Structure formats: structure tokens, C-alpha cells
Amino acid sequence: MGAELNLTLSLRAHATERLTVAIKADSALNLISPLTPVELTRDSDGRFNLDISVRTPAAGRHYLRIYATTAGQGASMSRSMSVGIQVGDPPSSTQKSSTNADQGEKLRRMKADESEP
């Protein structure tokens, strides 16, 4: 495969003019840029935009981990999130099992895919 993907991440943050963002890729993605944390400023629409480039040798579902930190007025706030990226066609059938909880809510059990930052 070896495809290079170029993405634009757009974030919003309240009451701050600057946002520091660090990106980490899962083991199947090669992060091309940015390799170090980036300090972003708000655009005219109130968003913080970051261009990201990754390369992957394998089709499938991959994840980018995003760490965002704001600082100002003597306080800071951090958030982390994951963004899924599907490379190639998704599998035609997925193995998901579902069951009902005590109150009749439908639960879906899915395989966990966790990694350390």
C-alpha cells in the first residue's frame, strides 16, 4: 500500500488564543508531520487547524492520538482524543456480538484495541 494521507485537523477551544497540539500515530501508521508539538493560533472562524501527514503500508483501521493543551490566565486544560482512519475498504462483515443489559438496553461487545501513548 504505502499511501500517504494528508489530513486537516480542525479543533475549537473556548477562551484561549493559543492551543498546543501533539500527534501520535498507532504502530501501523508512520507520522510524517508534525513530529513535535505545534502551537496553533485561532483562525478567523474561531478554529485551530493543523495539517497532518501520515503514511501506512497496511490497509485497515488505524488511529491518531491527539493531545491538546490550552494555557492562559494562570490555568491550563488538556484533552486527549483518538481519530480513526480507514485505509482501503472496510471488511464486509464484522464480528460483533450484542446482548441486553438488565434494563433492556442493547449493548454491543467489541474487541478492544488499546495502546500506550
Query: 102: which DSSP letter?
Result: T
d(CA 29, CA 43): 29
d(CA 12, CA 49): 9
Tell me the per-residue pLDDT of 45-89, one tens digit each, with 9 for 90 and over.
888 999 999 998 888 888 999 999 987 777 788 899 998 888 877
d(CA 23, CA 35): 7
Tell me the per-residue pLDDT of 19-30, one tens digit each, with 9 for 90 and over.
899 999 988 889
CB of 47 closer than 8 Å to CB of 4 = no
pTM of the model: 0.68
